[in-house]
Amino acid sequence: MHDLAAFRKEVDAYARRLAARGFVLDVDRFRELDEARRKKLAEVEELRALRKRESAEIGKLRKAGRDATERQLKVRQIGERISALEAEAKQAEEAFRDFMAGVPNVPHESVPAGGSEADNVELKRWGAPPEFDFEPKAHWDLGPQLGILDLERAAKVARARFAVYWGAGARLERALITFMLDVHTSEHGYTEVLPPFLTNSAALFGTGQLPKFAEDLFKIQDEDLWLVPTAEVPVTNLFAKEILDAASLPVKLCAYTPCFRSEAGSYGKDVRGIIRQHQFQKVELVKFTRPEDSYDELEKLTADAEHILEKLGLPYRRVVLCTADLGFSAAKTYDLEVWLPGQGTFKEISSCSNFEAFQARRASIRMRRAGGKPEFVHTLNGSGLAVGRTWVAIVENFQQKDGSVLIPDALQPYLNAEVLGADGRLW
RNA sequence: GGAGGGAUGGCCGAGCGGUUGAAGGCAGCGGUCUUGAAAACCGCCAACGGGGCAACCCGUUCGUGGGUUCGAAUCCCACUCCCUCCGCCA
């Protein structure tokens, strides 16, 4: 959601910036809806002011023991007109709000212009892709071979695009979650939270998944509850409708949750293996900052996510998304892409964004400086990291010729092992 | 699921249907005092929307949505959430 006063004042500038990300703002429609709404509002308010004055007069008359029947009749008629006008005003307000709710955030000035994801810009690379003296396998071959990944049985108990991890595979997933949370809390200063895995629609509106992207979500039947597509939703909304002390910012939270996505519209993409699943595990980083600090904090948050990859020795690159590839709520996004030898490509493993005040306005997350007025905070979040894809990256990057997988040093204490043997056991 | 109690400003908390946007306290801000700080004392302090260059004016908001009334924080109905007790249960 945008700052209405600013938006109204500079609609054309907003339209230009929105066009850069491929969104066509209907400026005429905006003006029409905005003016209609304000006109109705003014009418209603004028009548309400009149009624207020008249009612007070009646109060005085009656206190003085005088008759006010005539005035009462008159005010009753005003009341009827108010009711009628209120209904119209409400309708105009809703039409306007629906319109605004569908307008995405505008890209930050530092975001490269582009027409598609092909225009995203690589900013850095870390680590060298491993060299193999054999043909490296993809995880969808290696996992089942080791007996640690089972997609057939997952489809039996759920459906396609779910996974069952067995033995060392399950342990590896769990170790990664704990490892990531430990690093973020003890080395990067985040506070761990364990939020609900279901949220209501107000929370999803706050972060921007609703109303536009309902088809990407799983919903509980007959309840106002949805499975979380990312911990961003429950964690960002933790402070919805609150006013934080500016001195307490930035607030840095990290959370593990499973994430549930219907993946409607992604048919044919990443069909093999566990790259794209209806359920996956993720450790998420969320920050609430003062507006002037948010871009510095985005750099730090992204570096925090990168630190996990570096500790695990996984080669990756950082990409800044171009205007066309930006998500609905984001003003700027860095994607971290990990090298996957089985597929010979970099694959997104983390997405770190600054939403500026876009989510804060939708969810009403504010702060107050000493003695000042409430101001909207800036919100940020990023994966730190997607656990399932980290699992894939480890299995594919550290595979040996015999099918065993070397465990990165940083993870060894969590698995109490140095290698995941060709027999699927940890040694 | 059953019975009862509750929801008011950043926080706590009062509030006969008619200058109540709402007492009081805490916190915050400004000042007096002090070498400085604390204490004490004085003053200021809700949010959102609309209008205006501005001073300012108007409206809305006391969990949410309806209703009664000339007029609702205050009365009625429904719902949501929280607390206590009972039942069931990881």
pLDDT at position A147 over 90: yes
pLDDT at position A65 over 90: no
A337 φ, ψ to 5°?
-120, 130
Q: How confident is the model at residue A116 (pLDDT cuts 50, 70, 90)?
A: very high
Q: State the burial class of residue A269 (Cβ atoms within 10 Å of its Cβ: 0-12, 13-18, 19+).
A: exposed
> In the predicted model, what is the mean pLDDT of residues A93-106?
92
CATH of A26-101, one of 3.40.640.10, 2.10.109.10, 1.10.3720.10, 1.10.287.40: 1.10.287.40
A98-114 exposure pattern, b = at least 16 Cβ within 10 A, e = fewer: ebbeebbbbbbeebeeb
Q: What is the CA radius of gyration of chain A?
A: 27
Q: How confident is the model at residue A224 (pLDDT cuts 50, 70, 90)?
A: confident
A95 φ, ψ to 5°?
-60, -45
Share of chain A above pLDDT 90, in %: 76
Rounded CA separation A395/A116 (Å) = 31
Pair A348, A362: CB distance under 8 Å? no
**Is the pTM value of this prediction over 0.90?**
yes
pLDDT in tens, A148-178: 999 999 999 999 999 999 999 999 999 999 9
**CATH fold of A117-420:** BirA Bifunctional Protein; domain 2 (3.30.930)
Q: Phi-psi category of A270—alpha, beta or left, where left has phi over 0 and alpha has psi -120 to 50?
A: left
Q: Which nucleotide is nearest to A59 (CA to C1')?
A: B18
ipTM of the assembly?
Answer: 0.87
pLDDT at position A371 over 80: no
Residue type present at position A341:
P
A389 in catalytic set:
yes
A220/B49 CA-to-C1' distance in Å? 35
> What residue segments make up the domains of chain A, in order of their start?
26-101, 117-420
Residues 351-410 of A with CB under 7 A from strand B: 366, 368, 370-371, 373-374
